[in-house]
Amino acid sequence: MKEEFVNVGKPVPKKDAYEKAIGRATYIHDLKLPGMLYGKILYSRYPHARIVHIDTSKAEKLPGVKAVLTGYNIPEIRIGFYKDNTPLKKGKVYAMRDEVAAVAAIDPEIAEEALELIEVEYEPLPAVFDPEEAMKEDAPLIHEEHKTNVLRLPWKLVAGDVDEARKNSAYVVEDQFRVTRVTHCCMGTSGCVAVFDPQDNLTLYSITQIPYLAQRDFQEALKAMGLTGKKVRVIQTTIGGGFGSKLDTHCYEYIAILLAHRTRRPVKITFTREEEFKYTSPRQPAIIRIAQGCDR
């Protein structure tokens, strides 16, 4: 067996340690591009509701506002595991973290003020907040297109003969466990900056943990926007913590892309700590049943 390895068993210097130690590392909140606008997102007021009407006219007239988007004036971009999510919702909202409208303005304060001027009329619908309640036959149906509240995964993992192992075990311990919702609490909150060049090629500065997979997903978004054959460049800025929370693309990234293309200027979206707790992807709560067997 080879005893000498190039990396295994040897200290590996952290390439960004010096920049971080002297305070010179560039985090997403530090990034500022010429002509950059600031994006903010309006979220749903209800956990389940129909969107009856959205009036953005007052926000559009506010000095300093450069673009106002809703699900009704953007291309049909489908995202998520089942491609059933969109950057901005239209028709219905399914959670209080659902994105309803977005604004780009010359500074964050004007963007916030513009959000307050957007008028949304909702028709509240029955909601469910517990997975066991959601599985009952008389539970309100949340995603009508799926015809069920139970997520149908396209795979089933099987390893070995479970029934045989249980039968041959001297002892079997089985119980049900619950884990609650957990926010990752990264030191750096979520954010990105989107910018298009004159040829409609996209550069996205992001705190993503999956730059190559993100590049593929954003390429699909550009196709939906009618920008077929354009280049997508994802630049990973210094990440202020991840812990798995950034192993996907998120609606706010697509919203920044849409705002940047609409305004033809760089657009930056960053989250406050309150927004991070409310609107980013946590570890979901779960009810888990586990059985373990052992011999003597």
Distance CA 149, CA 144 (A): 9
- Looking up residue 248, the CATH number of its domain turns out to be 3.90.1170.50
Q: What is the pTM of this model?
A: 0.91
Q: Would the pLDDT of 64 be above 60?
A: yes
pLDDT in tens, 21-46: 999 999 999 999 999 999 999 999 99
Asked, for residue 74, whether it belongs to a domain, the answer is yes
Distance CA 205, CA 203 (A): 7
pLDDT of residue 1: 56
Average pLDDT over residues 223-240: 95
pLDDT of residue 152: 78
Residue 232's pLDDT band, with cuts at 50, 70 and 90, is: very high
Q: Would the pLDDT of 191 be above 60?
A: yes
Asked, for residue 139, whether it belongs to a domain, the answer is no
Are residues 47 and 127 in contact, defined by beta-carbon separation less than 8 angstroms?
yes
Average pLDDT over residues 269-288: 92
Q: Facing residues of 85 across strands? A: 79
Asked, for residue 242, whether it belongs to a domain, the answer is yes
Q: Would the pLDDT of 292 be above 80?
A: yes
The backbone torsions φ and ψ at residue 283, rounded to the nearest 5 degrees and listed phi first, read: -75, 125
More confident residue, 10 or 192: 192
Q: Cβ-count burial of 141 within 10 angstroms (0-12 exposed, 13-18 middle, 19+ buried)?
A: middle
* Range in 10-24, 32-46, 49-63 the model is least confident about: 10-24
Asked, for residue 290, whether it belongs to a domain, the answer is no
Q: Would the pLDDT of 209 be above 90?
A: yes
Average pLDDT over residues 50-71: 98
The backbone torsions φ and ψ at residue 192, rounded to the nearest 5 degrees and listed phi first, read: -160, 165
Asked, for residue 246, whether it belongs to a domain, the answer is yes
Domain encompassing residue 50: 28-126+184-279
Domain count, the chain: 1
Write the CB contacts of 128 (distance below 8 Å, at least 6 apart in sequence): 48, 134, 139, 140, 142, 149
Q: Would the pLDDT of 2 be above 70?
A: no
Q: Is 46 helix (H, G, I), strand (E, B) or coil?
A: coil
Asked, for residue 153, whether it belongs to a domain, the answer is no
Q: Would the pLDDT of 109 be above 70?
A: yes
Q: Would the pLDDT of 273 be above 60?
A: yes
pLDDT in tens, 233-271: 999 999 999 998 899 999 999 999 999 999 999 999 999
Average pLDDT over residues 170-180: 94
Asked, for residue 60, whether it belongs to a domain, the answer is yes
Asked, for residue 155, whether it belongs to a domain, the answer is no
Query: What percentage of residues in the chain have a pLDDT greater than 90?
Result: 78
Q: Would the pLDDT of 147 be above 80?
A: yes
